[in-house]
Amino acid sequence: MSSIAAKRVNTRVCQLQPNGMFSRGTHAYPGANGVQPARRQATGPAPKPRWRPLPQLLYAQVVKTVRRRRLVRVQHRVVFGTLEAVNAVLAPLGCQINTAFIERLNLSMRQHVAAVGRRVSTLCKGEDGLRQQLVLFQAYHNFCLPHASLRVPLAAPLPTNGTGSATQWQPRTPAMAAGLTDHVWTLREVLLLRVPLWPQPAGV
């Protein structure tokens, strides 16, 4: 199920714009990331469906070598695309090839979605149930969960009700940073939101 989900997500994302994807140096990852089915031949017996990377996909891995429980070497390996193309995407962001962001998202997902946790008795038994949990997590992660890296300093510190120090930072969520909302949502707001139909009917 994981490989099918990865193929669906990456196929949709890569249709929008060139992307940079990064993961650990596991040999099983390239077969599930950013691939599309090859065209069948016009004549002859139908071959088995094969997968090939999308032309615009940029995919690099961070290969870590550990000896005696100590990290001794870190290498970057470009699987799809070129090193120059990957650096061109990361340079405007001031970043380099790393797995810090995706690993942080994986940890948050495992902490909040019971179906993908490790060594748990709440594993999901169907794709529909897993999709519903992931959609709820996506809304909570982007609208309800403040991220420390997105906070901004207040113009003037706000006193607290108790004896603690004054509040010096304004918490922000990814939705606030993207300009989609002006406050941190509660889970009640998310569950009671009436989502309009999409696509909108003609004339609306």
CB 133 within 8 A of CB 164: no
Average pLDDT over residues 63-88: 89
Counting Cα atoms < 13 Å in the Cβ hemisphere of 7 gives 13
Number of H helices, E strands in the chain: 6, 7
Beta strands in the chain (DSSP E): 19-24, 35-37, 51-53, 57-67, 70-80, 152-158, 167-170
Structure confidence by residue, pLDDT tens digits, 151-188: 999 888 888 877 778 888 899 999 999 999 999 999 99
21: which residues sit within 8 A by CB, 6+ positions away?
Answer: 10, 33, 34, 57, 58, 59, 60
Q: What's the Cα-to-Cα distance from 53 to each of 36, 37, 116, 182, 189, rounded to whole Å?
A: 6, 9, 27, 39, 40
Helices 127-139 and 100-112: angle between axes, nearest 10 degrees: 110
Residue with tokens 């669906």: 8
Q: Give the pLDDT confidence score for residue 93 in this predicted structure.
A: 79
Structure confidence by residue, pLDDT tens digits, 34-55: 454 445 556 667 766 666 777 7
Average pLDDT over residues 134-149: 92
Average pLDDT over residues 25-38: 55
Partners of 21 in the β-ladder:
59
Average pLDDT over residues 89-94: 84
Domain locations in the chain?
Answer: 1-37+48-98, 109-151+171-193
> What 3-state DSSP class applies to 64?
strand
Report the alpha-carbon distance of residue 88 to residue 82 in Å, rounded.
10
pTM of this prediction? Answer: 0.65
Q: Give the pLDDT confidence score for residue 196 in this predicted structure.
A: 76
Report the alpha-carbon distance of residue 16 to residue 10 in Å, rounded.
10
- Please report which confidence band the pLDDT of residue 24 belongs to, taking 50, 70 and 90 as the band edges: confident
Q: Give the pLDDT confidence score for residue 34 in this predicted structure.
A: 47
CB 145 within 8 A of CB 173: yes
